[in-house]
């Protein structure tokens, strides 16, 4: 079975679960997102293999390697929050007057 069919099967098995995957997406959006991410990871794998074959060393700038202090982790956490709660950083968040409510 191909990876695409495995992913489609997984989505269809869970499509009626409100809290599974991106809970604000409809089934078709979940499918499109899954295929998009699969393609993205497939393309990124080339660079991951390059990094594994050529690990970073002291010559690499600390602004890249020091993930504890270069704001990469907080940016990833903010992105996750925006995906989980669309509109939360724009003032258009569900739960505000006229915006409905987040499904919980």
Mean pLDDT, consecutive 10-residue stretches, the chain (104 aa), reads 83 81 76 85 90 84 82 87 76 57 51
The model's pTM is 0.54
Burial class (CB in 10 A: 0-12, 13-18, 19+), 33: middle
State residue 104's pLDDT score: 47
State residue 93's pLDDT score: 58
Burial class (CB in 10 A: 0-12, 13-18, 19+), 8: middle
Residue 38 near residue 3, CB atoms below 8 Å? yes
State residue 95's pLDDT score: 56
State residue 49's pLDDT score: 92
Phi, psi of 94 (to 5 degrees): -55, 150
State residue 46's pLDDT score: 92
């Amino acid at each position: 079975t191909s990876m695409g069919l495995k992913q489609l099967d997984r989505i269809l098995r869970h499509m009626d679960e409100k809290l599974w995957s991106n809970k604000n997406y409809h089934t078709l959006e979940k499918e499109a997102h899954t295929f998009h991410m699969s393609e993205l990871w497939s393309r990124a794998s080339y660079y991951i293999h390059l990094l594994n074959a050529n690990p970073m060393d002291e010559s690499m700038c600390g602004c890249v390697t020091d993930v504890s202090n270069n704001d990469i982790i907080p940016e990833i956490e903010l992105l996750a929050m925006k995906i989980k709660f669309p509109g939360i950083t724009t003032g258009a968040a569900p739960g505000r007057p006229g915006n409905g409510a987040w499904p919980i």
